[in-house]
A and B are shown apart, each in its own frame.
Chain A
Amino acid sequence: MLSPFILAKWEGLLLLGGFFGIVIWKLADGSIGLERLFEGDVKDSDPRNTRGYAKYVSAGRIQTFWVTVLVAAYYLWQVVQNPTEFPTIPGGVIAALAGSHALYLGGKAQAMFLGRLRDLRK
């Protein structure tokens, strides 16, 4: 009979793999929407716009996406190389991630509270 540890390992693999599989499958078939992932809202001073906000493609979101994907892939690669302990992440990588997220949040705050930079200069 399988030992409890082997059983727990297969159980974890099935449940975790099943969950990731379902999320990826739902992402692929569009059940979990990724529409307008790179679009943000920006304060619009145009009086014809009753909503008060307009859509724009956000560079902050695009850079956050790529930095997140790269850091996640780097981390996972380190774990796969040596799966006996959590890898140590260089300070530069954490600083890059934190900086990227700060840039994204700063851009979002500026767009939502102040509007476009070119409108501020007017």
Chain B
Amino acid sequence: MKNIEFVISVVLTVGTAFVIAIWVPTPDHDPMKKVQLTIAYGMLVLLFLFGFMVLAAIASGKIDISGLLSETDKKASMSRFQLLIFTFVVAISLFLIVTCKCEFPKVPTEVLMLLGISATTYGVSKGIQVAAADQEKSATPTATK
């Protein structure tokens, strides 16, 4: 079997959901609440196992992220670096706010602007590189003639 981790995750999720459905008590023995709890715990276990699979694959090198900040010539890219920093900062902020407030917060335009500036810089930077490479390619035959 090619993806044994995936099968194990699904089997564990079904097992957890089954255990919860049988043993976990609900305050007023409401069957609907029991179904809700079963689905909630099952999804949490499934998400965790999927996330853990990806993390384990990254840590072991099965998913290669060595080129996360590099260009094709192995040179680190500033636009990739700043995009990574802002992605981390916004992810940490969102996590902190959700755990403290117990609800999904309203995302202000400033956050979108931060990520927008960052992503636009990355896009424009790639555009400049491609355009410069094209210009160089089109200039080379004329220079060699």
What is the predominant secondary structure among interface residues of chain B facing chain A?
Answer: helix
- Given contacts A84-B97, A104-B121, whether A36 and B75 have CB atoms under 8 Å apart is yes
Bound CA span A88–B111, Å: 9
A101 touches B111 (CB 8 A): no
Near A by CB (< 8 A), chain B positions 13-49 give: 24, 37, 40-41, 44, 47-48
The contact of A35 among B75, B135, B140, by CB within 8 Å, is B75
B97 touches A83 (CB 8 A): yes
Number of interface residues of A (CB under 8 A): 59
The contact of B85 among A69, A109, A113, by CB within 8 Å, is A69
B58 touches A68 (CB 8 A): no
B65 touches A32 (CB 8 A): yes
CB of A37 within 8 Å of the partner chain: yes
CB of A79 within 8 Å of the partner chain: yes
Instruction: Please give me the residue from chain B that is nearest to A67 by CB atom.
Output: B82
How many of chain B's residues touch chain A, expressed as a range?
35 or more
CB of A120 within 8 Å of the partner chain: no
A89 touches B110 (CB 8 A): yes
What is the predominant secondary structure among interface residues of chain A facing chain B?
Answer: helix
Q: Which residues of B contact A72 (CB under 8 A)?
A: 85-86, 88-89
B101 touches A84 (CB 8 A): yes
CB of A23 within 8 Å of the partner chain: yes
CB of B125 within 8 Å of the partner chain: yes
Bound CA span A35–B67, Å: 12
Q: Kindly provide the distance from the CB of A98 to the nearest chain B CB, expressed in whole angstroms.
A: 5
The contact of A4 among B37, B65, B120, by CB within 8 Å, is B37
Instruction: Please give me the residue from chain B that is nearest to A40 by CB atom.
Output: B78
Q: Which residues of A contact B65 (CB under 8 A)?
A: 23, 26, 31-32
Instruction: Please give me the residue from chain A that is nearest to B85 by CB atom.
Output: A72
- Contact string, A42-68, partner B, CB cutoff 8 A, digits 1/0? 010000000011000000010011001
- Excluding A35-B74, A97-B117, 9 further A-B contacts by CB distance (< 8 Å) are A8-B44, A12-B95, A15-B52, A23-B84, A31-B65, A41-B132, A76-B89, A84-B97, A105-B128
* B interface, CB within 8 angstroms of A: 24, 37, 40-41, 44, 47-48, 51-52, 55, 58-59, 65-66, 68-70, 74-76, 78, 81-82, 84-86, 88-89, 91-93, 95-102, 105-108, 110-111, 113-114, 117-118, 120-121, 124-125, 128-129, 131-132, 135-136, 140
Query: Can you list 7 contacts pairing A with B, beta carbon distance less than 8 Å?
Result: A12-B98, A35-B74, A68-B81, A68-B82, A68-B85, A112-B132, A113-B135
